Amino acid sequence: MNEAVRVEGLRKRYGALEALRGIDLAIGRGEFFGLLGPNGAGKSTLIHVMAGLARPTQGRVAVLGHDVVRDYRRARRCLGVVPQELVYDPFFTVREILEIQSGYFGLGRANRPWIEELIETLSLADKADTNVQALSGGMKRRVLIALALVHRPPVVVLDEPTAGVDVELRQALWQFVRRLHGDGHTIVLTTHYLEEAEALCERIAILDRGQLKALDRKEALLARYPYRLLCLTVDGDPARLPPAVAALVVAREGSRLTLRLNRLDHRVGDVLEALRAAGLRVADLGTREPSLEEVFLELVGREAA
Ligand SMILES: Nc1ncnc2c1ncn2[C@@H]1O[C@H](COP(=O)(O)OP(=O)(O)OP(=O)(O)O)[C@@H](O)[C@H]1O
């Protein structure tokens, strides 16, 4: 059994609202999997169902073969979920909270070295005996990660772990997550930072309004977008842009234009020729490949949040 997570025909309804409308997907063991989608797409709902925090209306989810409803305890033990916010009793210290969580999973003294290792690796040593209440936002974020990992789960789910986190902490978190992945953990990541998903994930699912819009390897997803971008700086009155060129413009900043060229239909040479014929001189020029964000917007068809 090489699947870390299997989702079959999953539907989740909240009253009249169907947050998940029939999701089927499988995440392989050891994969770094990205879950993307605009606000309200259903990402958190899917994670909540995986973690046993929400019950499926229909369909099933299994973690390492354990059904998250029928075999809740075993499924939950295989999963470490880093939530968006810390729910904690503010009167406990960092170390105490980790020990309580460890006890919740039935792990006793033998787990203490691992707790200390987590404290060390996540640079929480200075704060280990501080009440959680007194920690900065970034430190609380580290505690959330330590909590999710306290029982050494093989599957780690990170729900927007870097939202509102400064660059330094974000780098440290990614270094740590990469290490976990390198150690053989399956990583499932939801993020609004598409460049983050692009840098880290091997396969990416794009959810929109409760449905799976795409699920593919990152490279395949990028290759699906049949465009490349041409960035130009033109000398002369941009109002004189020939209509055929103006139709390709997707962004304009003074005399800097970004054009979207279809790989099959548009040639850079033709664009330059049309500009020259209209009396416009090109002062600077560059092309670039699309980013995951562009693919995402194309697939979802509206502004990503
Ligand atoms: N407990 C709940 N009760 C009622 N509706 C809910 C509940 N949880 C989520 N929803 C609704 O389900 C839909 C999907 O929400 P969900 O939080 O899963 O989206 P998301 O993709 O995680 O969004 P975001 O990127 O904003 O976190 C939304 O319309 C949301 O309002």
- What pLDDT, in 10s, does the model give residues 237-276? 777 899 999 999 988 888 899 999 987 788 899 999 999 9
Write down the CATH number for the domain with range 226-289: 3.30.70
- Residue 305: pLDDT band by 50, 70, 90 thresholds? very low
The pLDDT assigned to 24 comes to: 97
Which ligand 1 atom is nearest residue 48's CA?
18
Domain with CATH 3.30.70 in the chain: 226-289
Mean pLDDT of 131-140: 88
Ligand 1 geometric centre to CA of 215 (Å): 21
Q: Which of 200, 198, 203, 211 is nearest to 291 (CA)?
A: 198
Q: In what order do the strands lie in the sheet with 66-67?
A: 17-28, 3-14, 58-63, 66-67
Rounded Cα gap, residues 81 and 146, in angstroms:
10
**Centroid of ligand 1 to alpha carbon of 43 (angstroms):** 8
Distance 284 CA to ligand 1 centre (A): 45
- At the fourth CATH level, the homologous superfamily of domain 3-222 is P-loop containing nucleotide triphosphate hydrolases (3.40.50.300)
Identify the top-confidence range among 91-105, 257-271, 282-296: 91-105
Give me the percent of the chain exceeding a pLDDT of 90: 59
Position 304 scores a pLDDT of: 43
Q: Tell which one of 10, 21, 43 to mutate to probe ligand 1, the residue whose CB is within 8 A of the most ligand atoms.
A: 43
- Pinpoint the residues of the chain covered by CATH 3.40.50.300: 3-222
pLDDT attached to residue 86? 67
The ipTM of this complex is 0.96
